[in-house]
């Protein structure tokens, strides 16, 4: 209990006194801190154990004399990093006392007798990495951990050693035991898998439990356990799920090991039968060997991918202070959260709690109606880091925001016209300081990258560092408008959006004033005719008048705009084709439609020949009608975004998902449903069938012509007034 009349002068004695009921308090001090814009005197209580910290914090929260207890909700390991300034994935120095050899699988153990001091050393030390892949299956169904044993575990280590543990000569239990033995003998720093967080480890954990095998792969003999952000943690090692890193590759639409590896240029030859055929394949010895080979190939590919992603992970981890094994699994919002916590701590802010807040929408960016047609010689001008720079320029931050009824001299704050929000001009707010640091850091990395005398590995590390800084910098605006953010104030995001609209509008207006034709604009990019002198003058004007930079980004020899926003295709000056927003780049259209659209776009852009494009389209359509069918080309992939029971609409992919279930395949939100439209049935959701249960002759070719190919071709040719009717009737004429 804290008695009435306790002051900052005697708080220390009161808390430390045995009568207070608080226990294991190591130190109490009174320090000046900030809570948003408020300067406060805060009592810092240091406890002797994490247990005491939790209990004392709980007690203090109930005390009426205490306004608020803060920073007690932060993970202790994170608190330690904040307090000491130590950084994950970096070296540090500290005083130690030897404890001696312990049960842990380490050479020696020490207790820290001082705080660590960050001691950055460039380069990554030699790390032992092991990757594993597994195979389990049901009797013509998805594997179920409660029922189906692990059949194969394959491992690949970065010292070149490989193993495959197979159930044919071992029991399920022995497969796990041998795997664990092999892993522990290698004593890896990093254990990588593909989908190991959601599938691999949970499955192994369940099988180990059922078979009585020990899964003590941790350095202190512990088993893996579920941790924050849905990742699986292995004490003393970095558990790395390569799948998490695949999120950084939007080009890969269906994220299987094979697809991700192929995109990264890693060859992985696994021609696996469908999941539901695995049990049949397993029963024959030669196909069983093939399954074993495939599992090993997957482990090899996982290892290569882990190595490829590691540098980025390390940079992101040390930048955000989030441990390496968590940072990949954490969403951008959480990464920014951690980064800001570190920044806030060094700036003397107390870290607010994460609380539930209502969702409030606000107006976002401007998108202009494009000038439909084919344009020659066009340049896309982009603001460099528009939102971050606006947040810096106008000091947009939760701690500089002036609430509506607060009276303040208008000279002292920025007024955001429109919503009418006000922000103090000084001192610099949390976001301003964080973003200024991030941008300065990124520029310094860019400068280093320009140096000619870099080794390949140094160059890669710097490039990944730049990428990590970019992710956090660009994430700040979205974070500011996210109700789950610790530093959420809607007005900050709303003001940034308002200023963004104002900025791009002024550029567009300026273009019109100087006779630069604006063809299209979206958020922070303006497409104009590439009149070099006028563009150069415009760049100077923007810099002088808006105090931000706009720079020529993509230059097009030719660019085609449809009537729709966010969809265009252009031929860049380097000869490559850039397709944005069109079905070609969408994962939820059949390959056949996307391929044909891509060819049509190519012909128009590179050859400038509308006739050829139209002729090609007609030929392609008749091919679809009469040619040979590769089933692969007809699959339509769509994600399941929620549990199947929650869908109320009989959408094709939802109905197909239900058919997946009846066929024995399990599904979870996030899974991709692949389906093919067949001739069977009348409603689309009846005609759609799981891709693995369809024979080529069942494909409804007419559906694909009229609902996939014709629309996407017409999207392009429609720009030149060639409508769907001409594509359909043209074919009919040639038929008669």
Nearest approach in angstroms of CB 24 to DNA is 31
Nearest approach in angstroms of CB 523 to DNA is 4
Contact call for residue 570 and DNA (CB under 7 A): no
Q: How many residues bind DNA (CB under 7 A)?
A: 62
Residue among 479, 556, 660, 691 that touches DNA (CB under 7 A): 479
What is the distance between the alpha carbons of residues 410 and 420, in angstroms, rounded to a whole number?
12
Beta carbon nearer to DNA, 31 or 588: 588
Residue 234: exposed, middle, or buried by beta-carbon count in 10 A (0-12, 13-18, 19+)?
buried
Contact call for residue 541 and DNA (CB under 7 A): no
Q: Which helix (H) or strand (E) holds 47?
A: strand 38-47
Nearest approach in angstroms of CB 240 to DNA is 19
Nearest approach in angstroms of CB 519 to DNA is 12
What is the distance between the alpha carbons of residues 629 and 699, in angstroms, rounded to a whole number?
8
Contact call for residue 493 and DNA (CB under 7 A): yes
Residues between 66 and 95 with contacts to DNA, criterion CB under 7 A:
none
Taking phi first (over 0 means left), then psi (-120 to 50 degrees means alpha), and beta for anything else, what does residue 423 get?
beta
Per-residue x/- track, 318-357, DNA (CB under 7 A): -------------xxxx-x---------------------
Return contacts of 628-633, CB within 8 angstroms, 24+ apart.
Answer: 629/696, 629/697, 629/699, 629/701, 630/696, 631/676, 631/691, 631/694, 631/695, 631/696, 631/699, 632/591, 633/590, 633/591, 633/592, 633/595
What is the distance between the alpha carbons of residues 463 and 465, in angstroms, rounded to a whole number?
5
Residue among 715, 722, 726, 731 that touches DNA (CB under 7 A): 715
Contact call for residue 33 and DNA (CB under 7 A): no
Beta carbon nearer to DNA, 286 or 646: 646
Span near DNA by CB under 7 A; candidates 120-128, 167-175, 563-571, 622-630: 563-571
Span near DNA by CB under 7 A; candidates 6-14, 310-318, 421-429, 586-594: 586-594
Residues between 632 and 671 with contacts to DNA, criterion CB under 7 A:
637-642, 646-654
Contact call for residue 684 and DNA (CB under 7 A): yes
Nearest approach in angstroms of CB 495 to DNA is 12
Nearest 10 degrees: Cα torsion 110, 113, 116, 117: -120
Residue among 202, 484, 552, 730 that touches DNA (CB under 7 A): 484
Contact call for residue 475 and DNA (CB under 7 A): yes
Contact call for residue 12 and DNA (CB under 7 A): no
Is 194:309 a contact under the CB 8 Å cutoff?
no
Nearest approach in angstroms of CB 350 to DNA is 22
What is the distance between the alpha carbons of residues 545 and 675, in angstroms, rounded to a whole number?
53
Residue among 566, 668, 680, 723 that touches DNA (CB under 7 A): 566
Residues between 494 and 533 with contacts to DNA, criterion CB under 7 A:
497, 522-525
Beta carbon nearer to DNA, 252 or 264: 252
Q: Which of 332, 338, 289 is nearest to 169 (CA)?
A: 289
What is the distance between the alpha carbons of residues 2 and 45, in angstroms, rounded to a whole number?
14
Beta carbon nearer to DNA, 2 or 651: 651
Nearest approach in angstroms of CB 649 to DNA is 5
Contact call for residue 365 and DNA (CB under 7 A): yes
Beta carbon nearer to DNA, 42 or 526: 526
Q: Would you tell me the crossing angle of helices 456-480 and 430-450 to the nearest 10 degrees?
A: 160
- CA angle (314, 319, 323) in 5-degree steps: 55
Residue among 707, 719, 720, 730 that touches DNA (CB under 7 A): 707
Backbone angles phi, psi at 607, to 5 degrees: -100, -15
Beta carbon nearer to DNA, 314 or 579: 579
Residue among 149, 364, 664, 730 that touches DNA (CB under 7 A): 364
Nearest approach in angstroms of CB 639 to DNA is 3
Residues between 154 and 183 with contacts to DNA, criterion CB under 7 A:
none
Nearest approach in angstroms of CB 414 to DNA is 21
Per-residue x/- track, 105-124, DNA (CB under 7 A): --------------------
The gap between the terminal CA atoms of the chain, to the nearest Å, is 95
Contacts of 705 (CB under 8 A, 6+ apart): 621, 624, 625, 728
Residue 504: exposed, middle, or buried by beta-carbon count in 10 A (0-12, 13-18, 19+)?
buried
Nearest approach in angstroms of CB 367 to DNA is 4
What is the distance between the alpha carbons of residues 575 and 668, in angstroms, rounded to a whole number?
42
Contact call for residue 551 and DNA (CB under 7 A): no
Q: Which of 577, 582, 585 is nearest to 563 (CA)?
A: 582
Is 382:551 a contact under the CB 8 Å cutoff?
yes
The residues binding DNA (CB under 7 A) are 250, 253, 331-334, 336, 361-365, 367, 382, 474-475, 477-479, 481-484, 493, 497, 522-525, 562, 564-567, 580-581, 585-588, 637-642, 646-654, 672, 683-685, 707, 711, 715
């Amino acid at each position: 209990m804290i008695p009435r009349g306790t002051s900052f002068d005697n708080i220390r004695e009161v808390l430390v006194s045995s009568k207070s009921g608080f226990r294991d308090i190591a130190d109490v001090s009174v320090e000046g801190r900030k809570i948003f814009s408020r300067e406060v005197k805060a009592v810092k209580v240091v406890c002797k154990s994490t247990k005491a910290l939790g209990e004392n914090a709980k007690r203090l929260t109930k005390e009426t004399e205490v306004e608020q207890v803060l920073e007690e909700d932060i993970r202790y390991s994170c608190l330690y990093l904040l307090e000491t300034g130590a950084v994950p994935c970096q070296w540090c120095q500290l005083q130690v006392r030897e404890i001696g050899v312990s049960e842990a699988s380490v050479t020696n153990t020490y207790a820290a007798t001082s705080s660590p001091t960050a001691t950055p050393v460039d380069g990554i030390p030699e790390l032992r990495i092991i990757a594993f892949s597994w195979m389990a299956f049901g009797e013509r169904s998805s594997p179920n951990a409660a029922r189906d044993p692990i059949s194969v575990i394959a491992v690949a280590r970065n010292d070149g050693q490989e193993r495959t543990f197979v159930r044919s000569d071992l029991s399920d239990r022995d497969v796990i035991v041998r795997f664990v033995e092999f892993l522990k003998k290698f004593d890896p720093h990093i254990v990588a898998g593909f989908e190991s967080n959601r599938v691999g480890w949970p499955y192994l954990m369940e099988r180990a439990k059922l078979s009585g095998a020990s899964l003590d792969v941790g350095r202190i003999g512990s088993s893996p356990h579920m941790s924050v952000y849905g990742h699986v943690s292995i004490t003393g090692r970095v558990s790395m799920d390569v799948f998490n890193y695949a999120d950084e590759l939007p080009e890969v639409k269906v994220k299987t090991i094979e697809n991700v590896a192929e995109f990264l240029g890693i060859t992985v030859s696994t021609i696996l039968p469908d999941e539901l055929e695995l049990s049949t394949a397993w029963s024959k010895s030669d196909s069983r060997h093939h399954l074993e080979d495939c599992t090993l190939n997957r482990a090899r590919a996982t290892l290569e991918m882990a190595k490829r992603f590691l540098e980025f992970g390390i940079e992101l981890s040390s930048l955000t202070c989030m441990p390496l094994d968590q940072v990949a699994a954490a969403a951008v919002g959480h990464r920014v959260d951690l980064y800001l916590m570190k920044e806030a701590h060094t700036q003397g802010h107390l870290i607010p709690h994460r609380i539930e807040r209502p969702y409030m929408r606000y107006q976002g960016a401007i998108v202009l109606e494009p000038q439909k047609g084919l344009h020659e010689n066009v340049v896309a001008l982009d603001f460099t880091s528009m939102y971050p720079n606006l947040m810096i320029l106008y000091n947009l931050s939760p701690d500089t925001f002036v609430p509506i009824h607060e009276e303040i001299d208008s000279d002292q704050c920025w007024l955001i016209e429109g919503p009418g929000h006000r922000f103090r001009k000084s001192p610099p707010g949390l976001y301003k300081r964080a973003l200024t640091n991030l941008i300065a850091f990124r520029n310094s990395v860019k400068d280093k990258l320009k140096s000619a005398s870099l080794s390949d590995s140094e160059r890669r590390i710097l490039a990944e560092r730049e990428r990590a800084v970019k992710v956090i910098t660009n994430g700040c605006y979205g974070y500011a408008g996210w109700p789950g953010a610790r530093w959420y104030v809607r007005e900050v995001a709303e003001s940034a959006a308002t200023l963004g609209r104002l900025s791009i509008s002024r550029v567009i207006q300026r273009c019109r004033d100087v006779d630069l034709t604006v063809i299209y604009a979206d958020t922070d990019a303006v497409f104009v005719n590439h009149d070099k002198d006028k563009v150069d003058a415009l760049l100077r004007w923007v810099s002088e008048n808006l105090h931000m930079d706009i720079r020529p980004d993509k230059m097009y020899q030719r660019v085609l705009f449809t009537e729709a926003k966010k969809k265009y295709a252009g031929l860049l000056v380097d000869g490559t084709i850039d397709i944005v927003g069109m079905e070609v780049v969408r994962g939820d259209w059949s390959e056949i439609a996307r391929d044909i659209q891509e060819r049509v776009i190519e012909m128009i852009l590179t050859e400038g020949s509308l006739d050829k494009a139209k002729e090609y389209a007609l030929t392609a359509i008749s091919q679809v009608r009469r040619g040979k069918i590769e089933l692969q080309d007809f699959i339509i992939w769509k994600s399941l975004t929620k549990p199947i029971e929650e869908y109320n609409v009989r959408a094709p992919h939802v109905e197909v998902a239900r058919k997946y279930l009846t066929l024995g395949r399990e599904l979870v939100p996030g899974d991709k449903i692949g389906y093919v439209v067949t001739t069977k049935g009348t409603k689309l959701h009846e005609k759609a069938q799981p891709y693995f249960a369809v024979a080529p002759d069942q494909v409804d070719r007419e559906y694909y012509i009229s609902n996939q190919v014709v629309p996407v071709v017409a999207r392009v040719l429609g720009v030149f007034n060639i409508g769907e009717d001409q594509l359909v009737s043209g074919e009919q004429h040639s038929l008669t």
